[in-house]
Amino acid sequence: MAAPAGELFAARVGRLAIRSLYREVALDGKPGLVGPTGNGSHPDMDFTTFMRSLQALRGYFPAIAACGLQRPGFAPLRALGIAAEADMLAATAAVNTHRGAIFNLGLLCAALGVLQAEGAASSAEAACAVVRRCWGADILAGLSETSADAPLSHGLIVARRDGSGGARQEAASGFPAALNVGLPAYRAALAATGDGELAAMQALFALIAELEDTNLLWRGGRAGLDYGRRAAADFLAAGGVLAADWRTRAVGIDRDFVARRLSPGGSADLLGITLFLAELDGLA
């Protein structure tokens, strides 16, 4: 018997989510980040840890897309996200690989479910607008909440110390960094080179240059964030991936990030989201 349409839809969304996260981690030479041939500023994880994490999340993205078909409030999405975090931590021996992605990409998968239920076409702009419209207020409420079951995260610590809205602000605002920075950089570099990996690298540097990445803030404070953003902006000003010597420059930035223990983990998550959004037009 054929699977119901909702199940097929959710499975398609889930496959796109996993593929986008795979493309992010498989991109080699990212500064300070884990890739297939290095672990950047992360002694506690490597490429295999990320593969285990992705395997553990295979069921989550279709499940949250299917939940979106019911046009849910925030509470059921949060419950799915918390369960997925537990699955991730069990698969990685308690290393945090995809916390941001579980949250960000989970919300976007649910948004696609809402659009499908409303009979609306899916696009990057429409999916981001659903997240803002349907769940933005509940997401922001979490910024001021702490309790025994919601202990202080690194993001909440830097929110209080440095006044950064972090992952919650980005999601509640409808992912402006992914829509207005990552996606245009990705599309322009893809048009110029025809190479998806080069385009992804350009998008990553564009995101690092602009984002208030709470991982950079957590690891390096305001000076670390400023350093990381300036290094990425200089890379782009020198031509980014269109410059003949871009790989040498990227290797130098990676070396500098590792020497300072800096990791742009939030920008890496938003690259995963950018790659997801780039494939949304026409996903029915």
Ligand X SMILES: CC(C)(COP(=O)(O)OP(=O)(O)OC[C@H]1O[C@@H](n2cnc3c(N)ncnc32)[C@H](O[C@H]2O[C@H](COP(=O)(O)OP(=O)(O)OP(=O)(O)O)[C@@H](O)[C@H]2O)[C@@H]1O)[C@@H](O)C(=O)NCCC(=O)NCCS
Do 156 and 167 contact (CB within 8 A), yes or no? no
Q: Tell me how far apart the alpha carbons of residues 119 and 77 are, in angstroms, rounded to a whole number.
A: 21
CA distances from 266 to 73, 91, 165, 211 (A): 25, 21, 12, 8
Do 165 and 143 contact (CB within 8 A), yes or no? yes
Shortest distance, position 205 Cβ to ligand ADE, whole Å = 14
Which of 10, 16, 34, 56 forms a contact with ligand ADE (CB under 6 A)? 34
Rounded to 5 degrees, φ, ψ at 38 are -170, 160
Using rule CB under 6 A, residue 263 touches ligand ADE: yes
Do 228 and 219 contact (CB within 8 A), yes or no? no
Using rule CB under 6 A, residue 210 touches ligand X: no
Q: Which amino acid is at 230?
A: R
Q: Which DSSP letter does residue 243 get?
A: S
The binder of 128, among ligand ADE, ligand X, none, by C-beta within 5 to 8 A per type, is: none
Using rule CB under 6 A, residue 167 touches ligand X: yes
The binder of 33, among ligand X, ligand ADE, none, by C-beta within 5 to 8 A per type, is: ligand ADE
- Partnered with residue 122 across adjacent β-strands are none
Using rule CB under 6 A, residue 186 touches ligand X: no
Shortest distance, position 239 Cβ to ligand X, whole Å = 26
Using rule CB under 6 A, residue 33 touches ligand ADE: yes
DSSP string, 94-139: T--SSHHHHHHHHHHHHHHHHHHHHTPPP-HHHHHHHIIIIIHHHH
The binder of 25, among ligand ADE, ligand X, none, by C-beta within 5 to 8 A per type, is: ligand ADE
Using rule CB under 6 A, residue 264 touches ligand X: no
Q: Which stretch binds ligand X (CB under 6 A): 112-120, 150-158, 222-230, 275-283?
A: 150-158
CA distances from 46 to 38, 82, 256 (A): 7, 23, 19
Using rule CB under 6 A, residue 214 touches ligand X: yes
Using rule CB under 6 A, residue 60 touches ligand X: no
Q: The tokens 């037009």 sit on which residue?
A: 281
Shortest distance, position 42 Cβ to ligand ADE, whole Å = 5
Size of the site for ligand ADE (CB under 6 A): 9
Shortest distance, position 76 Cβ to ligand X, whole Å = 9
The binder of 210, among ligand X, ligand ADE, none, by C-beta within 5 to 8 A per type, is: none
Residues that bind ligand X (CB under 6 A): 77-78, 81-82, 96-104, 106-107, 142, 153-156, 166-168, 170, 211-215, 218-219, 263, 265-266, 269-270
